[in-house]
Amino acid sequence: MPTSAPNTPDAPDARDVHACLLPPPARGWPRLQARLVDRIKRAALRRLHASQAGEVLLLRMYLIGEASTEQALQDEWTSQDSPAWLSRQAARHLEEERGHVRMFADAIAQRGGSTHTGEPDWLSRRKIARWKRLALRHAPHFSQGVLVPAYAIGLCAEQMGVRVLRRHCDTIGADHPLHPLLAGVLDDESRHVRLCMHTLTRIVATPELPRLEALLREIRGIERGFGISGSIGMYLAGWLCAWRSRPAADAMRTPERDPHR
């Protein structure tokens, strides 16, 4: 496996590489789908924040996501043949993801929730399994092997993280107690997007760019396919948390209604 940057000698137009790494502007049904997912998720966020259990559930979703990224960084984002610069960069990235895991775990503990991560939910497990099959299928077509699909999947996951955190910060507003935590992580994830983009421009050789484009299209297609089901699942979870916390709210209201108690 080559250890130098394969893209350096006859690098293509940097703007072309950049364009394929950025999420393409959605048109037609995918655009409508993205808007629908955004609206459902904003409604789900408001509902989940309405109860302590819902807020803990949201933080646990972040915790599990961050723990999965940490695991992927350890297992797939470096190999023994990785260039030294990439190993150093992955080590720093891993430290930052561990920091996110600690911050979300602290926020959960402050709210009395469990910080045991366990397994990702069923939908996320299916998505991860499809990504892994995709990585194995594409890896032989790149001189840097599985590192390229690993960073392509990582890029899309970080881009999704930025979208999710931006929507969340926007929905709760700057005065919400969780805003500083989410905005801080958003800054880090935005930097990780740039890091993954920079890495891909260095490890993908020019003749491999059409294959990278096809790979990114497939990754984003899988992500989109899970968008609506994921947002509906989130909305239902918010509804369930609000419903479960209702007896406690009713109990708190009872003394006001009954002057003899």
Q: Which residues contact Fe ion (rule: CB under 5 A)?
A: 66, 97, 100, 158, 189, 192
By beta-carbon proximity to Fe ion, the closer residue of 171 and 190 is: 190
Closest residue by beta carbon to Fe ion: 192
Give the angle 88-93-94 at the CA atoms, nearest 5°.
95
Closest CA to 154 of 114, 194, 187, 210: 194
User: What's the min distance (Å) between Cβ of 189 and Fe ion?
Assistant: 5
User: What's the min distance (Å) between Cβ of 101 and Fe ion?
Assistant: 8
By beta-carbon proximity to Fe ion, the closer residue of 40 and 64 is: 64
d(CA 37, CA 17): 28
User: What's the min distance (Å) between Cβ of 143 and Fe ion?
Assistant: 26
By beta-carbon proximity to Fe ion, the closer residue of 55 and 66 is: 66
Closest CA to 201 of 90, 105, 86: 86
Closest CA to 58 of 113, 130, 126: 113
By beta-carbon proximity to Fe ion, the closer residue of 55 and 189 is: 189
CB 127 within 8 A of CB 226: yes
d(CA 187, CA 230): 24
User: What's the min distance (Å) between Cβ of 98 and Fe ion?
Assistant: 9
User: What's the min distance (Å) between Cβ of 69 and Fe ion?
Assistant: 5
